[in-house]
Structure 1
Amino acid sequence: MRYLMLVCVDEDVEPNADPEPWTDEMEGRGVRLMGNRLCPVRDSTTVRVRGGEVLVADGPFAETKEQIGGFDILECADLDEAIEVASKHPAAAFGTLELRPFWER
């Protein structure tokens, strides 16, 4: 199963762990297909259409302390393996990792 792993962190918290060992391990296992950090939330743009009008706003849709700081696409046997992979990510110690399966028909 493929999962999108959203890495949600408080941008004011400086990470104290290097993600490279995790990345190397998960790519070596073949479970990390791709991933990347994202630019700061101040660089984001929200787009909505309401009543046929395009509404564009600077910043994220939700005002929360944690923002999506990166993502990884995982290929795991099942949710248990995806949880195990996420639990080893360095951001799990100071942020939140959300696992969401891809919609597959």
Structure 2
Amino acid sequence: MKYMLLMYGAEGRWTESERTACMVESMQICDQLAAQGKYVASSPLESVTTAVTVRVRNGKTLVTDGPFAETTEQLGGYYILELEHLDEAIALASMLPPVTKGTVEIRPLFPLDGLPPRQAHPAETKMGAGRPFMLLCYDDESAWRAAGPNARQEAMAEAAALTRELDDAGRYVSASPLHPAETATCVRVRDGKRLTTDGPFAETREVLGGYYVIVAETREEAARVAARHPGAQLGAVEVRPLFEVSRLRKSAPAS
């Protein structure tokens, strides 16, 4: 099963040198996971100061500066891994450098028919103009339950159609819905001791329901794509640029 590991932490808790060392160590772990056939994708995100959040209400697009939730600890990056079971995901989450100062939320990906195959990360290949952005789709799960299964299925079909359109335009990297927030597991490591709790990182009405990684020339273009996601009508879509890590590879010591 594919699992998404979401790295939450307070940005001010890391110095620049610590953050760089964390990313270099994380890349080495990714290389090891890739050699084992468990790695799918990962990336740190740019600071929350670069975020915009998009909502659509009554046909009107509302764009605000800043992340979806104003909290002390914010999403700093993600991994997507192909693993046997949750226990393996918990064990790997415990090894990741951010877990000692923040929280790793583990969520299984929900397989959705109609999505294009994942494309190589823009840093891995020349993929047209622009830079990669992550669209974090926050859902009000109770509102979707009230709308009924047909409305949710129609929204998923619309979301899949949007990915195919982006793919045709050379702007698609990857996307997936997530299983409900009740399936989440959070992992922290403090003083060498692993702490595991059931449930999502943040207890909010709107929870992360899925993601897109796309290529756009500007944040404004990425926000326009976010406004077309059906979830923006009942929830919100946070737009964050991915951090370019390729230049850090030369800083990593040879393994």
Q: Is TM > 0.5 for Structure 1 vs Structure 2?
A: yes
Gaps of 5+ in 2: 113-255
Partner SS, residue 12 of structure 2: coil
Q: In the alignment, is residue 43 of structure 1 matched against residue 50 of structure 2?
A: yes
Q: In the alignment, is residue 31 of structure 1 matched against residue 38 of structure 2?
A: yes
Partner SS, residue 64 of structure 1: coil
C-alpha deviations, 1:20-74, integer Å up to 9, x for none? 3322322222222110111100001100011211110111111111111111111
Q: Which has the higher contact order (CA 8 A, sep 6+)?
A: 1
Task: Give the root-mean-square deviation of aligned CA atoms.
Answer: 1.5
Largest Rg, 1 or 2: 2
Q: In the alignment, is residue 73 of structure 1 matched against residue 73 of structure 2?
A: no
- The structure in which a higher percent of residues are strand is 1
Distance of 1:57 and 1:32 partners within structure 2: 34
Query: What is the TM-score when the length of structure 1 is the normalising length?
Result: 0.90
Distance of 1:29 and 1:88 partners within structure 2: 16
Query: What is the TM-score when the length of structure 2 is the normalising length?
Result: 0.39
Percent identical residues: 41
Distance of 1:28 and 1:65 partners within structure 2: 35
Partner SS, residue 42 of structure 1: helix
Q: In the alignment, is residue 8 of structure 1 matched against residue 15 of structure 2?
A: no
- The structure in which a higher percent of residues are helix is 2
Partner SS, residue 20 of structure 1: helix
